[in-house]
Chain A
């Protein structure tokens, strides 16, 4: 069974710190990797996607992918209380096929003022 695993948390960081969220996946053939943010009582929204090994940066967010080790991470620099949410990792077996996305349970992040 193909799986995506995330530490459920809560991960608690002080305001201004770097938050590091990790995700591991079981299917070595996975091609595309997505990070969605879900505020309590709201729907998920895409933060970033990555499909090449290495780092991808977008503002305060950096996604890191290591296919050999089968993990993808999300770093949030200068964490703000507004970043407090659940972060969902989703993995696709081929290039962006939304029909086959496999989701993790999510990591709850709390940024303390």
Chain B
């Protein structure tokens, strides 16, 4: 039990579908993150929320839409994705976004396949 729960674990969707990834953390953290992990590429930071406010958007295409209703929940809404979006999507949380070295707690990830 990592304290960060992601659902679903696996997702297969067509390019015209709309789906959402969900992340919940039970650690009392204030910062939450979405990362993308693809084969032969380093971890890519997508979005960061600190105290429910988005503080980072790393030029992510608009077909990915994050939502953070409170400090414990984070969603990633997906629509009209492309096959190259197939990857492992990881949610993470930390006490805050910086100031002192902060440990990131990762969820188990959602393995996404876009057909």
A interface residues (Cβ-Cβ under 8 A, vs B)? 4, 32, 34, 36, 42-46, 49, 51, 88, 90, 92, 94-99, 101-106
Quick check: B106 and A103 within 8 Å, CB to CB?
Answer: no
Quick check: A42 and B103 within 8 Å, CB to CB?
Answer: no
Quick check: A49 and B101 within 8 Å, CB to CB?
Answer: yes
A95/B101 contact (C-beta < 8 A), A43-B90, A43-B106, A45-B106 known: yes
Quick check: B90 and A99 within 8 Å, CB to CB?
Answer: no
A99/B56 contact (C-beta < 8 A), A43-B90, A45-B106, A46-B104 known: yes
B interface residues (Cβ-Cβ under 8 A, vs A)? 2, 31, 33, 40-43, 45, 48, 55-56, 90, 94, 97-104, 106-109
Q: How many A-B residue pairs have CB under 8 A?
A: 62
Q: Which of A4, A51, A97 is most buried by chain B, counting CB atoms within 10 A of its CB?
A: A97
Give Cα distance in the complex from A88 to B107, angstroms.
16
Chain A residues with CB under 8 Å of B109's CB are: 43
Closest to A50 in B: B101
Closest to A89 in B: B42
A99/B101 contact (C-beta < 8 A), A43-B107, A44-B106 known: no
Closest to A33 in B: B101
Quick check: A105 and B106 within 8 Å, CB to CB?
Answer: no
